[in-house]
Amino acid sequence: MTQFRFVILFFVIAAVASTFFYFSADAEDATAGKTTRPPTAVSVISVSEQAVPLTRELPGRTSAYRIAQVRPQVTGIILKRLFKEGARVEAGTQLYQLDDAQYDVALQRAKATLAEAMAAQLSAQRTLDRYQKLLGTKAISQQGFDDAEVALARASAGVAVAQAATAAAKLDLSYTRVYAPISGYIGKSLVTEGALVTTNQQQPLVTITQLDPIYVDIQRPSTEQLPIRDGAPVSVKLSGSAAIDSYTGEGQLQFSDVLVDESTGAVQLRALFPNPEKRLLPGMFVNARIDLGTKHGILVPQNTVVRDHEGKPFVWRVDSQNLVHRVYVTTARAVQNNWLVTAGLQDGDTIVTEGMHRLADKSPVTPHSAKPDSGAPLTGTR
C-alpha cells in the first residue's frame, strides 16, 4: 500500500513540474518575441501650415451681354436692306429703309395745319390788342373783350395741337429708317425687300447680339454655402476641352441670385467675361472656376486620414522618439487629392503616409521619407 501511494505521489509531482516548465517556456518565448520584434517601417512626410488658395468648379452656360430684336415701329413696305448678314454693326447704323411716301405727305399736311393754326393765333392776338385799346374808351363792351381773350386762347391751343401733330408726323417719317439700337453682330434678316411690315409685329426684322463682354450664368447648389463675394475672379474651361486654359480671359462675379430655381434646386451666379476674340458664344456649356480666396491650414494627402469606429478622422503622427500617436484632426474641405486640416496638427509635424494598417498607439516605427508623388500639392480645386 505504501508503495502504491509513493507511485501516485511521483506522478502528481511530475505533472506539476511539467506544467510549470511549459508555461514558463511560453512566457519566455512571448517575452523574447515581444522584445525582438523590429519597429514597423513607414513612409512619412513633414507638414506645414500655409495659406491655401481655394477654388470651386461649377457648371455654367454662356449668355449674351445684350440682345436686340429689331422690329418696325410703323407700317410700310421694305425698300432696301442696308447691312451684310453676320457682320458687326455699330449702334445708329441704318439697317432698313421703308417706303416713306405716305409719311412724307402726312408731315406736309401736318405742317400746313400748323401754319393755319399759327395764322389763326396771330389774328386772335391782333384782335385782342385792338380791343385792349378800345376798352378804356368804352367803344367795346367787357363781354366783347372777354370773347377776344377766349378766342386767342383757343387759337393758341390749336397751335399746340398742330405742333404735336407735326412732331408725330416727323417721328413716323423717321421710323421709316430702321437703325441698329446697339452695337454687335447682326444675324440673318427675316424679311426681304418688298415685304410688308406692320407696327409692333411679333416677328423681328433681325436680331443683333453683343458678344463682348459676355455673361456666364453659373449654377450653385442651394444646399452648398460658399464664401463667394461679388467681384471674385472667375475663369472658365469649355466643356469637353482638355486644357483649363482653353479660354484665357478672366472674368468677375457680378452677383448671386437670392431665389432658388424650383426645378433644379440651384441658385444662379452671374460672371462677366471679356470676349474680344468671340471664343465664347451664347448657349455654350462651360465649367467655371471661382476664386474663393485663401484659408490657413495644413494640407495632408487624403489617404493619410483614417477614421475610427465612430467615424472620427485621425492621422498617425511620429514623435521625436519614432513612436506613433493617434491624433484626431478637423478637416475643413477637400482640395484636389488632399484634406485641408484646420485643427489637430501643428507646423512641422511628421505624419505617416504608408504602412498605417500595422500601427498601434505608441508603437515604434522606422520612418522613411515618402516619395515625391506622395506629398500633398499646395493648391487645388474642389
* pLDDT per residue as tens digits for the range 285-343: 988 888 888 888 888 998 889 888 888 999 989 998 888 999 999 988 888 888 889 89
pLDDT of residue 249: 74
**Are residues 152 and 125 part of one domain?**
yes
Q: Compute the half-sphere exposure of residue 80: CA atoms within 13 Å on the CB side of its CA.
A: 10
Q: Give yes or no: residues 237 and 349 share one domain.
A: no
Please give the share of the chain, as a percent, with pLDDT higher than 90.
41
pLDDT at 259: 86
* CATH number of domain containing 242: 2.40.30.170
Q: How many domains does the chain have?
A: 4
Same domain? For 287 and 221 the reply is yes
pLDDT value, residue 51: 86
Of 294, 321, 338, the residue at which a domain comes to its end is 294
Residues 187, 88 share a domain: yes
- Amino acid identity of residue 88, one-letter, is R
Confidence of residue 91 (pLDDT cuts 50, 70, 90): very high
Mean pLDDT of the chain, nearest integer: 83
Residue type, 22: Y
241 strand-pairing partners: none
CA 125 and chain centroid, separation: 67
Instruction: Output DSSP code: residue 373.
Output: G
- The pLDDT tens digits for 221-234 are 888 777 777 788 89
CATH classification at residue 127: 1.10.287.470
Q: What is the pLDDT of residue 278?
A: 87
How many Å apart are CA 352 and CA 345, to the nearest integer?
Answer: 13
- pLDDT score at 241: 53
257 and 192 housed in the same domain: no
Interval 84-89 mean pLDDT? 94
Same-domain check for residues 192 and 307: no
Same domain flag for 232 and 343: no
The CA-atom distances, in angstroms, between 162 and each of 61, 124, 142, 155, 174 are 53, 16, 31, 11, 18
**Would 9 be classed as within a structural domain?**
no
Expressed as residue numbers, the domain containing 268 is: 57-64+212-294
CATH number of the domain enclosing 80 = 2.40.50.100
Reported as a pLDDT band with limits 50, 70 and 90, residue 239 is low
Q: Are 366 and 40 a contacting pair, CB within 8 Å?
A: yes
Task: Point out the domain boundary residue: 237, 270, 294.
Answer: 294
185 and 307 within one domain:
no
Q: 287 and 317: one domain?
A: no
**What predicted TM-score, i.e. pTM, was given to this entire model?**
0.67
CA nearest neighbour of 354 among 309, 313, 301, 312? 301
Instruction: Say yes or no: 226 and 263 in one domain.
Output: yes
Given 242, 270, 294, the domain boundary residue is 294
Together in a domain, 258 and 359: no
Residues 167 and 262 in one domain: no
**Is 70 exceeded by the pLDDT of residue 29?**
no
Note the pLDDT tens digit of each residue in 339-373. 889 898 988 888 988 888 878 888 888 888 876 55
Cell numbers placing 242: 482638355
In the prediction, which pLDDT does 372 show?
54
**Pairwise CA distance, residues 156 & 154, whole Å:** 5
